[in-house]
């Protein structure tokens, strides 16, 4: 969904509300797998395992749960070719899964941010150092909002959702 005026979490909430309305009439909403890593997010077709879309973590600016339906969440990306922002809305099978996904996105932002800092300090390290621990430098807030920090981490987490 195109974001005409970027307003952070307010933009994600607007997109969630619009998506809720547009999917009310749908009999079947497509099921996808989200693969989240320090590199970014991939949407994968749950049926044929084809990658539908990929977003680099550095192009994700905001992620938040929908306050009206906590099993729904969204994140905003910037298309570098068009310079437009897009909001991607998802509904997980339950609130706990949505919570886990938002936390994982927050951790991915933190890891990528820490790696970017390390790369700036010590050169071109694009892999995790052996001593790197995947722990946030500060407590992660409740998963209603996860503000962007560019980051990278080994491994990825996959989630099923609709």
Q: Which domain holds residue 10?
A: 2-161
Q: Residue 85 sits in a domain of what CATH number? A: 2.30.29.30
Q: At CA 9, angle to CA 154 and CA 26, rounded to 5?
A: 90
* Backbone torsion region of residue 122, taken as left when φ is above 0, otherwise alpha when ψ lies between -120 and 50, otherwise beta: alpha
Q: What is the pLDDT of residue 156?
A: 46
What does each C-alpha distance from 95 to 38, 69, 84, 104 come to in angstroms? 23, 8, 30, 14
Stronger pLDDT, 6 or 65, i.e. the higher one: 65
Stronger pLDDT, 144 or 76, i.e. the higher one: 76
85 in Cβ contact with 61 (< 8 Å):
yes
105 in Cβ contact with 36 (< 8 Å):
yes
Residue 73's pLDDT band (cuts 50, 70, 90): confident
Quote the pTM value: 0.65
Q: How many separate domains does the chain show?
A: 1
Measured from the Cβ of residue 114, the count of other Cβ atoms closer than 10 Å reads 22
Q: d(Cα 58, Cα 39) in Å, to the nearest integer?
A: 8
Residue 142 pLDDT more than 90?
no
Residue 141 pLDDT more than 60?
no
Q: Which residues are bridge partners to 159 per DSSP? A: 34
What percent of the chain clears pLDDT 90, i.e. is strictly above it? 25
Residue 21's pLDDT band (cuts 50, 70, 90): low
95 in Cβ contact with 124 (< 8 Å):
no
Sheet holding 156-161, edge to edge: 51-56, 40-45, 32-37, 156-161
């Amino acid at each position: 969904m195109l974001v005409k005026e970027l307003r952070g979490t307010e933009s994600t909430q607007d997109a969630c509300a619009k998506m809720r309305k547009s999917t009310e009439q749908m009999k079947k909403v497509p099921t996808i797998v989200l693969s989240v890593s320090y590199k970014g997010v991939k949407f994968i077709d749950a049926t044929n395992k084809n990658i539908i879309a990929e977003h680099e973590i550095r192009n994700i600016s905001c992620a938040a749960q929908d306050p009206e339906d906590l099993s729904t969440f969204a994140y905003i990306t910037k298309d570098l070719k068009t310079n437009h922002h897009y909001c991607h809305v998802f509904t997980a099978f339950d609130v706990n899964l949505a919570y886990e996904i938002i936390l994982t996105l927050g951790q991915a932002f933190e890891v990528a941010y820490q790696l970017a800092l390390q790369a700036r300090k010590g050169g071109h390290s694009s892999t995790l150092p052996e001593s790197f621990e995947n722990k946030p430098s500060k407590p992660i807030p409740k998963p209603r909002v996860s503000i962007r920090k560019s980051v990278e981490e080994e491994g990825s987490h996959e989630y099923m959702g609709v």
